[in-house]
Chain A
Amino acid sequence: MLITCPYCGPRDVIEFTYQGDGNRERPQPNSQDLDAWNAYVYDRLNPAGDHNEIWQHSGGCRTHLRMVRNTVTHEISSTSFARGDHNAAARHKAGGKS
């Protein structure tokens, strides 16, 4: 199975590490919302089909990646740098009132 890293190009899956479900939204560290923490820690969509995931090219450039993997076929329909995502989210939060 090959995964196409946006920096390194197609690489063997053995170079990559799964970093978890990409749908989770971590509550603010000081959040007292127990339901939100419970959802973050336990709730999973577990779809049979496309799934948002975070991976790391741990045996290559070591960047964290956001990927969409089909849990039935293992087809990976998109890969992108997770960092861009993270920065966009951070900017969004900084500008808004939470």
Chain B
Amino acid sequence: MAERQSPERLSPLEPVFHPGSHGNFEHGVDVILTETRPGSILQLAAWPGEEKKLMAAIRSVTGLALPDGAGGGVAKDGKAVFGFAPGKFTVVDEAEGLASAFAKTVTPAVGTVTDLSHGRTAIRIAGPKAEWVLAKFFAIDFALPAFPVGAGRSTTHHDVFAQIQRTGADQFDIYVFRSFARSFWKALCHASEEVGYEVQ
């Protein structure tokens, strides 16, 4: 008899996800592409004037202290948060169940919690040529002084929304719509061919 199992999480990238080295990697692999598959991806929004209370709620639930300022963020211990619009934040956790934790803390008077865990796909690009490859996609400044570690950016690639968080000096996590993720992934692989890439 079939055992009861927790449902298997399926990736929209599955048919085009090919682990191994690809492209021009004879001289080394300059970017590594992965799908981080976090259990929780949330969007939190504060009503005008309630931003500090929402940031305090984020700190109490995740332990992450948001820096002040537009697009500020932090990533550590399997969790990440960054501002993507005034009073709005993306919060990510490796574990599932973050939405219910926030539903208790973010009261209707403070703001809203939207669970996008099944609506976004998280793609990580890391390596010495990560900035170079992303600069071919997005018309924003990827240089470290302009885009510090932890910070987030909202932008688009061919009208497809993308939220990007820098999670290391040469590492970026990109959140795209699940329905566009396969197309974006294929484009990202294609753009990475010239530098040599490895899918992990």
Contacts and interface: CB of A to CB of B under 8 A. Distances in A.
Interface of A: 6-9, 11-12, 14-15, 59-63, 81, 83, 87
Contacts of A59: 155-156, 159, 161
A81 B139 CA distance: 22
Contacts of A14: 139
Residue of B48, B70, B154 with most partner-chain A CB within 10 A: B154
Interface string B99-112: 00000000000000
Contacts of A8: 70-71, 153-155
A59 B163 CA distance: 11
A7 B85 CA distance: 7
A63 B154 contact: no
A62 to B, nearest CB: 6
18 contacts: A7-B70, A7-B71, A7-B85, A8-B154, A9-B70, A11-B155, A15-B139, A15-B156, A59-B159, A59-B161, A61-B84, A61-B86, A61-B88, A61-B154, A62-B85, A62-B154, A63-B86, A83-B48
Interface residues of B, number: 15
Contacts of B140: 11
A15 B155 contact: yes
Interface string B70-82: 1100000000000
A55 B61 CA distance: 36
Interface string B124-165: 000000000000000110000000000001111001010000
A-B residue pairs, 6 tightest by C-beta: A61-B85, A59-B156, A12-B139, A7-B70, A60-B154, A61-B154
B155 A60 contact: yes
Contacts of A61: 84-86, 88, 154
Contacts of B153: 8
Contacts of B86: 7, 61, 63, 81, 83
Contacts of A9: 70
A17 to B, nearest CB: 11
